Amino acid sequence: MRTKLSRNDILILMPILVLYFLLRIPLLFPMNEYWDYDEGTYLMIAKELSEGTPLYKEIFTVHPPLYYYLLAGWMKVFGDYYVVGRALSLTLGAFSLVIAYLIGKRINDNGITLTLLITLDLLTIHLNTVVLHESLLEFFTLLSLYLYLIGKYREMAFVLGIGSSVKHTFLPFAGGLLFSAIGAIKIRDKKELVKAIFSAYLTYLLIGIVLVMEFPSDISRKIFVVPGIGEIEVVGAKYGLLVFLLILIFYILRFNALEVNITKNFREIAVLLSCFIIGKAIIEGPYLLTTESYIRDVYLLNRGRGILFMGLFSLISDFIGDIRSGFLELLYPYVTLLFIGLILALQKRRTIQSPLWATISWLTVAYILIPMPGVPRFLYPYLLTLILALGSMIEDWRRVAPLILVAILFITTLPRGEMAVAFAEHTNTLREELKNINLTNAYSFNPMTAYFLGIEEPPELIDNFGLLYLAHMDPYEFLKRLESRNITSIILGTWTYRMAEKRVLPGSVYKVILEMIRERYSLVYGHSFPDGEGLEIYGKRTMNKNISIGTYNGHIWVFYNGSPIFSFDITENPPETVLIKRGGIYVAIQGNISGDIEIRREIIEIKNVKNIFLRLQKSFTKIGNTILVNQFNITITQGDIGEWNKGIKVYSKNGKIRMLVTYLTPEK
């Protein structure tokens, strides 16, 4: 069967490519602080590389070098702007479409169907419009699958080696495809395989019930998680999953459900592995030989992101959890697979088979055994291969057409931030506002903000997430390093706040970071929305104060040594909150209401307002003009206290309200 592009093939591909670009170009421009931390990191690193800063020596990063050099070269040619960086992903995705078409022609002459499926896949649409490794991984995934299908195993192994120098998440795919080329797992009897899986689940459930009855505790319940159903919460769950896998292997062997055929001799195995190593060594070899920290930073630090046996099971568990929660829009990465399943269920003839099923078997084993976060983006090569394997069984490409409407709905709804899929719709506005502020010697905890504003950051400190979470750097040490590099301004925003809200790591780390910044620095500018979006600039304090203010979730917050006490507003339901420091006074703007705020040690004075609304998060006691909240007394020394259903309303006297906030030292 022909696999080269003919003139007719090009004519077929042209309208699909037009559709491809139409569905992606609108998403190239909106910024989204919930997601773009990684984008900013890679853009900043590429910029440093283009200026001659050595990677891994002066630039800290936890990924292999190939994507960084490609991005740096691309932006050197086409310009230093985030949309240009995203255009690289867009271009790589377009090349990938051509390979997908060739794969489809090889499998059942189904090029149009597979090309359309990838064009309309919602996860792929997103990944093709952001500065991430995944579009390059898409290219290497499809190229290696094409070489596999045409029997060029050595070239495939070489390409897999190069692809593994993009990101460590490609390694399970590379391993699975290599083993698929060396030997294939074949299903001897489908009924026996189903019987083995069913028996394994029943046996595991019975063992789990008995053990939890014998050792009833939260930890035992969290260890014996039902694979693909129960939520994985602790690292120790890997032991329960290991028990399940051993039981499953036992039943597969007992029922003789699978057949393993070794199709290559050991010499050929050695040749394939050598081709893989050569491809990888071309990219990473120089760093392995010259950089002491390379193995640690790129491979060892990433161990903490994935847990043995959990990746694929965690993905399935989250899928079921999203269905239970009712947030069905969170299932957007799987829409294409679900749609293909529906088409195949309704398809009358089911005689079409895919040669990729043996590959899927090996990939499934690889993604179970190799530690990997159970996140669609990290398992993208696996999901992409599933789309190809299932999509190649569709008889008529026209049945894919309804996905066009779904894709249009996705790209128009996503930027509005109305879905449960996190999208910070005010990101562009907030960052544009900072362009008029002097940010010399500044550092942003979201590198995308720094990149957009042209801030020069210490290259070894760009990726604070990698340092604080993966490298386990102490938060105090991190701030100390910033100060040693003469950083006098700190930029916080939506991404940092959301990280600090996480109940598990790295949430506790970023919570400490926020408290330290609010204690050591004072707010210079803040803009916050009720939906949680916001940006703040903190400057180095000239004098110590226990009491400080900031913005968060659309309100004005009062902090004591960096820890939040209460919030207040100068209007009842502010659409947004802006705080601007002018001299020693803050100008507060909420909608069309404004006022001035001055802090003198424990005294907060609010001027030019009619009233304020105190939002007290915890239970409080009111005695006269004093409000007791937790371990703090809030005494209204000027103003009158009134009732309010969400807290306390304070009326001004002569346009002023004065509060004395004192900390009650616990009795010993």
**Per-residue pLDDT tens over the stretch 239-281:** 888 899 999 999 999 998 887 666 656 788 889 999 999 999 9
- Answer yes or no: are the C-beta atoms of 638 and 606 closer than 8 Å: no
What residues contact residue 437 under an 8 Å CB cut-off, 6+ apart?
524, 525, 537
Average pLDDT over residues 103-123: 94
Quick check: is 358 in a domain?
Answer: yes
**Model pLDDT, residue 153:** 95
Distance in angstroms (rounded) separating the CA atoms of residues 144 and 158 = 9
Query: Do 86 and 115 sit in the same domain of this protein?
Result: yes
Domain count of the fold of the chain: 2
Mean pLDDT of all residues in 195-201: 93
The C-alpha angle 571, 573, 579, rounded to 5 degrees, equals 60
Is residue 627 assigned to a domain? no
| pLDDT for 266 | 77
Quote the distance between the C-alpha of residue 76 and its chain's center: 27
**Do 330 and 404 reside in the same domain of the chain?**
yes
Question: Crossing angle, helix 111-120 and helix 335-346, to 10 degrees?
Answer: 140
Cross-strand pairs, 76: none
pLDDT at residue 536 greater than cutoff 50: yes
In this prediction, residue 505 carries a pLDDT of: 81
Cβ burial 299-320 (10 Å sphere, 16+ → b, else e): eebbeebbbbbbbbbbbebbbe
For residue 304, the model assigns a pLDDT of 67
**Same domain? 152 vs 224:** no
Sign of the four-CA dihedral 103, 107, 111, 116: negative
Number of C-beta neighbours around residue 6 at 10 A: 10
Residue 182 within any structural domain of the chain: yes
Same structural domain for residues 108 and 144? Answer: yes
Q: Please tell me the predicted confidence (pLDDT) of residue 544.
A: 66
The CA distances from residue 104 to 95, 101, 232, 386, 395, in Å, are 15, 5, 37, 13, 12
Can you give the residue range of the structural domain that contains 181?
Answer: 7-30+62-188+264-416
Pair (20, 95) in one structural domain: yes
- The burial of 69, by beta-carbon neighbours within 10 Å (0-12 exposed, 13-18 middle, 19 or more buried), is given as middle
In-domain check, residue 70: yes
Give the pLDDT band of residue 616 (cuts 50, 70, 90).
confident
Question: pLDDT exceeding 90 applies to what percent of the chain?
Answer: 74
pLDDT of residue 1: 47
Q: Is the peptide bond before 575 cis (omega within 30 degrees of 0)?
A: no
State the SS3 of 238-291: HHHHHHHHHHHHHHHHHHCCEEEEECCCHHHHHHHHHHHHHHHHHHHHHHHHHC
pLDDT tens, residue by residue, 3-26: 578 899 999 999 999 999 999 999
Give 562-593 as a 3 state SS string.
Answer: CEEEEEEECCCCCCCEEEEEECCEEEEEECCE
Helices (H), 394-471: 403-413, 427-433, 447-453, 464-465
Q: Is 507 part of any domain?
A: no
Give residues with Cβ within 8 angstroms of 203, minimum separation 6.
Answer: 247, 251
C-alpha span between 91 and 39 (Å, rounded): 16
My answer on whether 151 and 201 are in the same domain is: no
Structure tokens at 523: 């707010």
Q: Give CA torsion, residues 437, 443, 446, 450, to 10 deg.
A: 50
pLDDT at 127: 98
The DSSP element (H or E) to which 162 belongs, if any, is: helix 153-163
224 and 351 share one domain: no
User: In the structure, what pLDDT confidence band is assigned to residue 76 with cuts at 50, 70 and 90?
Assistant: very high
Q: Is the pLDDT of residue 431 over 60?
A: yes
Specify the pLDDT at position 46.
Answer: 98
Residue 137 lies in a domain: yes
Q: Say whether both 104 and 11 belong to one domain.
A: yes
102-136 in b/e burial notation, b at 16+ Cβ within 10 A?
Answer: bbbbbbbebbbbbbbbbbbbbbbbbbbbbbbbbbb
Percentage of the chain surpassing pLDDT 70? 96
In a shared domain, residues 91 and 165: yes
- Is 305 within the bounds of a domain? yes
Q: Which of 391, 416, 441 is the last residue of a domain?
A: 416
Mean per-residue pLDDT, 362-381: 90
Structural contact between residues 645 and 636, judged by C-beta atoms closer than 8 angstroms: no
Question: Using one digit for the tens of pLDDT, what is the confidence trace for 482-523?
Answer: 999 999 999 999 999 999 998 878 999 999 999 999 999 999
Specify whether 127 is located in the same domain as 228: no
Please give the single-letter amino acid code of residue 496. Answer: T
When pLDDT is cut at 50, 70 and 90, the band that residue 225 belongs to is confident
226 plus 279 within the same structural domain: no
Of 416, 441, 475, the residue at which a domain comes to its end is: 416
* 3-state secondary structure (DSSP) of residue 355: coil
Judge whether 406 lies within some domain.
Answer: yes
Read off the pTM. Answer: 0.92
Residue linked to tokens 């740096």: 72
Q: Are residues 219 and 176 in the same domain?
A: no
Q: What is the CA radius of gyration of the chain?
A: 28
Closest to 450 in 3D by CA, of 94, 84, 43: 43
Average pLDDT of 455-473?
96
Residue 12 near residue 113 (C-beta atoms within 8 A): no
- Residue where a domain stops, chosen among 416, 449, 471: 416
- Token pair, residue 257, equals 């459900």
